[in-house]
Structure 1
């Protein structure tokens, strides 16, 4: 019925739809990819939050530095 469907490296021929669905739902290979995706998403959120906070603090530092240099330059 479903000839021409790949499963891993072996070529699957004439498997029934029930067999294909059961092997699809029992296969755990996608779970690892999903877990890695969730970890990368969490790390991305932490990095974005940290860099946003650091950006605000760096803006304050450079604003203070600019004010100090303008004061020194006008003296």
Structure 2
């Protein structure tokens, strides 16, 4: 019975230490933050390209229409 209690206490202490180390480990947090920043930048770039793309398409349509009318 004593051996069982000692094993239980060792296992409990091991898990407590493991959880404490896991909670304090921030090595993956930096990678996640950089990933979120990259995703945000990508969304902004796509939004800008969509807006600029529509304006450029409108400009080419206008130029094409005016060239057709000039002939």
Q: Which has the higher contact order (CA 8 A, sep 6+)?
A: 1
For structure 2, the residue ranges without an aligned partner over 5 or more in a row are 1-10
Runs of 4+ in 1 over 4 A off after TM superposition: none
* Length, aligned pairs only: 60
The residue number in structure 1 matching 2:66 is 68
**TM-score, normalising length from structure 1?**
0.67
- The TM-score, its normalising length taken from structure 2, stands at 0.70
User: Mind listing any 5+ residue stretches in structure 1 that lack a counterpart?
Assistant: 1-13
CA RMSD, Structure 1 to Structure 2 (Å)? 1.9
* Larger helix proportion of the pair: 2
